[in-house]
């Protein structure tokens, strides 16, 4: 049976491409917000947008405890309640060289789900009871390694920055449209393209943030394989999750136009499994002793004539 191992060169290429895409997406989000400020009020508007961005990003991420307790209604999973899960997360965190081990939380939702929140210094991982009780040990380790990889790669901070930039762009666009409706374009002395930009900017910023989310998911999958060394387990877990609870958005996207996928937060299961296959290579096990034996008759051996055949 073939064995699958991590292709380090493919992972390095994938990580480099991911960093470039992340940098370009964040730059595009920043330029979009800056363009609104510049077209609306020139250099003053651009400076005001920069001040708003610095102010928004200066606020730190919410602690994981507040996110899971207040946002999800989750309860902490201490080592006393779940010693195996906590030991698994501790080992994955050690392999990932995290500054602190993520705290575990039990989510009350009935679906199969795992999610990371907080910051790199104070992270947390929430899991549902259905996920823990359904997945085999290897697949559960792969899913938790995926969430640990999100923490390791700084995705919690990156996505917070993207959400802040998208939210700021949306707020500036809505305020600009309100001014245009109440006082007209003369109130700005603005560029003629400003109304069109104000209408399209919120949608564009949301699409850029969703694209960044999908890109970071691919990197988290590759990071999970690095931590576990078992790409087949993660692919199996993805297929199992798809088979058990499905993906309504994916089915809608398969029946409708392809642009519907632009509104996904995660890539499709097929795309993720294909990316895992591209980041791994097959190692054939050693051949048994009998394999490779020439089963054909050597030409030096002559067949005896059959005396019963005329």
Q: At what angle do helices 194-228 and 155-183 cross, to 10 degrees?
A: 170
Cα angle at 199 between 167 and 192, to 5 degrees?
A: 120
Could you say which DSSP state residue 125 is in? E
Active site residues: 147
Cα angle at 99 between 15 and 75, to 5 degrees?
A: 100
Secondary structure class of 74 (helix, strand, coil)? coil
Residue in the structure block whose two tokens are 């080592």: 79
**Strand segments (E) across the chain:** 3-6, 75-76, 103-107, 114-118, 123-128, 280-283
Residue in the structure block whose two tokens are 């019963």: 308
CA distance 170 to 181: 16
Reported for 11-16, long-range contacts at CB under 8 A and 24+ positions apart, including other chains, are: 11/222, 11/225, 11/226, 11/279, 14/218, 14/219, 14/222, 14/275, 14/278, 14/279, 15/219, 15/222
Could you say which DSSP state residue 229 is in? S
């Amino acid at each position: 049976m073939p064995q699958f191992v991590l292709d380090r060169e493919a992972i390095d290429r994938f990580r480099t491409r991911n960093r470039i895409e992340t940098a370009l997406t964040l730059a595009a989000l920043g330029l979009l917000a800056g363009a609104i400020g510049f077209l609306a009020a020139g250099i003053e508007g651009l400076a005001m947008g920069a001040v708003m961005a610095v102010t928004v990003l200066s606020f730190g991420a919410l602690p994981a405890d507040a996110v899971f307790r207040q946002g999800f209604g989750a309860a902490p999973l201490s080592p006393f309640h779940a010693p195996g899960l906590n030991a698994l997360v501790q080992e994955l965190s050690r392999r990932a060289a995290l500054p602190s081990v993520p705290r575990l939380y039990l989510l009350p939702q009935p679906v199969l789900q795992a999610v990371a929140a907080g910051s790199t210094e104070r992270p947390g991982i929430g899991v549902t009871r259905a996920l823990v009780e359904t997945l085999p040990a290897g697949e559960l380790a792969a899913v938790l390694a995926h969430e640990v990889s999100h923490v390791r790669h700084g995705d919690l901070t990156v996505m917070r920055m993207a959400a802040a930039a998208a939210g700021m762009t949306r707020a500036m666009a809505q305020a600009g449209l309100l001014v245009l409706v109440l006082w007209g374009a003369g109130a700005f002395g603005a560029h003629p393209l400003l109304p069109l930009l104000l209408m399209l900017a919120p949608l564009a910023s949301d699409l850029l943030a969703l694209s960044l989310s999908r890109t970071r998911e691919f990197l988290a999958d590759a990071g999970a394989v690095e931590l576990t060394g078992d790409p087949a387990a993660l692919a199996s877990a993805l297929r199992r999750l798809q088979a058990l609870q499905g993906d309504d958005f994916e089915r809608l996207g398969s029946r409708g136009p392809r642009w519907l996928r632009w509104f996904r937060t995660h890539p499709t299961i097929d795309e993720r499994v294909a990316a895992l296959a591209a980041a791994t290579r097959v190692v054939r096990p050693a051949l048994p002793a009998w394999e490779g034996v020439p089963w054909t008759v050597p030409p030096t051996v002559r067949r005896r004539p059959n005396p019963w055949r005329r």
